[in-house]
Amino acid sequence: MQTQEQKKKNQEVSTGEQSLGADFDYAPSIESTDIVKINPKNKLFIGGKFVDSAEKKYFKTENPATGETLAELTEATAKDVDSAVKAARKAFGPWSKLSGQERGRYLYRIARLIQERSRELAVLETLDNGKPIRESRDIDIPLVAAHFFYYAGWADKLQYAVPGAKSAPKPLGVVGQIIPWNFPLLMAAWKIAPALACGNTVVLKPAETTSLSCLLLAEIIQEAGLPEGVVNIVTGAGETGAAIVNHPDINKVAFTGSTDVGKIIARSVANTDKKLTLELGGKSAHIIYEDAAIDQAVEGVINGIFFNQGHVCCAGSRLLLEESIAETVVEKLKARMEKIRVGNPLDKNTDVGAINSAAEHVKIKKLIETGKTEGGEYFEPSSVNLPAKGYYHKPCFFNRVSSAFTLSRVEVFGPVLAISTFRTTQEAISKANDTQYGLAAGIWSEKGSKIHKTAAALKAGVIWANTYNKFDPTSPFGGFNESGYGREGGRHGLFPYLDI
């Protein structure tokens, strides 16, 4: 339980300021980390308690902004996963028999505790992930709470969620959920909230590099008095995820991550009766027509590709410009990129924080080298300086790329944009659809009819018009083709967790 003092601190706005050094020509304002207490060695959350693994194997998680170790985490073995599944199975009967109203009450309680401890959660997320504090504080954590509030409201209305249902559909049972590192707590909320609202119990594995906020969520779940075993959180590597997928007593697997791992999981469950949803990668097109509000569109492009360091599955990573405005947009984009502040994620002025891990940093740099070899025109802002320690990359783009270029086809998952041009609406549509993915797209035009015509022809799960990267719990999210199948969010986000 939090003390009154901790609660007060959680609600206060930090005023602590430190000097960031010569790299920055503005007054830095650094969020204090005093509010967060990180356990040096972390346990697994099974059956409502924090427990040791029988094997006692640990791995480290670091702060990518500095490269310093934050804590050690337990690497859960197949045996630990089995304990977690057993705890979830035991909890399933009583939990699924609770009235929807009672289940909703627990979810509301979790949502409120997330709001109360939002500052602590935001700072921890930024420390472990590297994302700017402004984003974790103003976007991620409020959305996490919003997802719990939203699905709390559905818990006693399930019969109205499914067209034609005469009574509330039944839950599936024990669900295994595996999430990536780019929005750790938000992905956990997208998975846990609808599963619980429908009456399922959960075994969730966060990503190796970003497990700390999920363990704090476990603490919140304990504080909310959720019955033991309804949510179990096991930390670990890929093998831990595989142990969940392959456990015979799992009824459903929900996975968000790379297309490669998604394919492995699809093969593993192929000859079982497990249900599966996959939220995978993307290479989303961002189209700007000549009649668009150009300055707003440039802001949209910046947000579309540089939000969260570009570690966004639906990032607008392919910019398609109508030929007549291409030069103007590129020049405006360059000028705007010179003003992006890359650096300490805890600085409230930072726009682009740290790349999540050394491995991702290497992968991004390699893809940029490939882009340079293939001959795109590379640009990175000269006035942006990077901190000496930690993993950082300048926001950048390649202009005049053809659709054969690696950067037009492969998901970089970093702050790298690929730009090309089109002459007609038809060409914009066919270029946008020329991808193995189908997660998202963006359209900029002042003409409603053009937006509707384009949107109707695009093969993408989410299409934004005159904005980009806006999320809301009421809106379903998911992809086509190699971006996966199933929807999360909104009423549709309930279906994968119900027997219908």
Write out the catalytic residue numbers: 279, 313
**Binding residue count for Mg ion, defined by CB under 5 A:** 3
| Helical H segments across 117-140, by residue range | 118-129, 133-135
Single out the segment in contact with ligand NAP by CB under 6 A; choices: 24-32, 40-48, 256-264, 319-327.
Answer: 256-264
Say if strands 377-379 and 396-399 run parallel, antiparallel, or are unpaired: antiparallel
- Alpha carbon distance 111, 380 (integer Å): 41
Q: Smallest distance from the beta carbon of 209 to Mg ion, in angstroms?
A: 4
282 binding ligand NAP? (CB under 6 A):
yes
Cβ closest to Mg ion, residue 60 vs residue 423: 60
| Distance from the Cα of residue 323 to its chain's centroid | 33
169 binding ligand NAP? (CB under 6 A):
no
445 binding Mg ion? (CB under 5 A):
no
489 binding ligand NAP? (CB under 6 A):
no
Pattern 151-190, Mg ion, x by CB under 5 A: ----------------------------------------
Near Mg ion by CB under 5 A: residue from 14, 42, 53, 61: 61
> What is the signed CA dihedral for 453, 459, 461, 466, rounded to 10 degrees?
-40
288 binding ligand NAP? (CB under 6 A):
no
The closest alpha carbon to 174, from 105, 122, 231, belongs to: 231
**Token pair for 451:** 């937006």
264 binds, among ligand NAP, Mg ion, none (CB under 5 to 8 A by kind): ligand NAP
- Alpha carbon distance 76, 79 (integer Å): 8
257 binds, among ligand NAP, Mg ion, none (CB under 5 to 8 A by kind): ligand NAP
- The answer for residues whose C-beta is within 8 angstroms of residue 335's C-beta and 6 or more apart is none
- The answer for residues whose C-beta is within 8 angstroms of residue 267's C-beta and 6 or more apart is none
Three-class DSSP category at 230: coil
- Alpha carbon distance 189, 151 (integer Å): 10
129 binding ligand NAP? (CB under 6 A):
no
Say if residues 138 and 13 touch (Cβ distance below 8 Å).
no
209 binding Mg ion? (CB under 5 A):
yes
Single out the segment in contact with Mg ion by CB under 5 A; choices: 121-129, 337-345, 390-398, 485-493.
Answer: 121-129
Place of tokens 């969730």: 204
Q: Smallest distance from the beta carbon of 264 to ligand NAP, in angstroms?
A: 5
437 binds, among ligand NAP, Mg ion, none (CB under 5 to 8 A by kind): none
Say if strands 44-46 and 49-51 run parallel, antiparallel, or are unpaired: antiparallel
Q: How many CA atoms lie within 13 A of 290 on its CB side?
A: 11
- Alpha carbon distance 191, 254 (integer Å): 7
- Footprint (CB under 6 A) of ligand NAP, residues 387-426: 411, 413
153 binds, among Mg ion, ligand NAP, none (CB under 5 to 8 A by kind): none
Q: Smallest distance from the beta carbon of 412 to ligand NAP, in angstroms?
A: 10
Contact residues for Mg ion, defined by CB under 5 A? 61, 128, 209
Contact residues for ligand NAP, defined by CB under 6 A? 178-182, 205, 207-208, 237-238, 241-242, 245, 256-258, 261, 264-265, 279-282, 313, 411, 413, 439, 479, 484
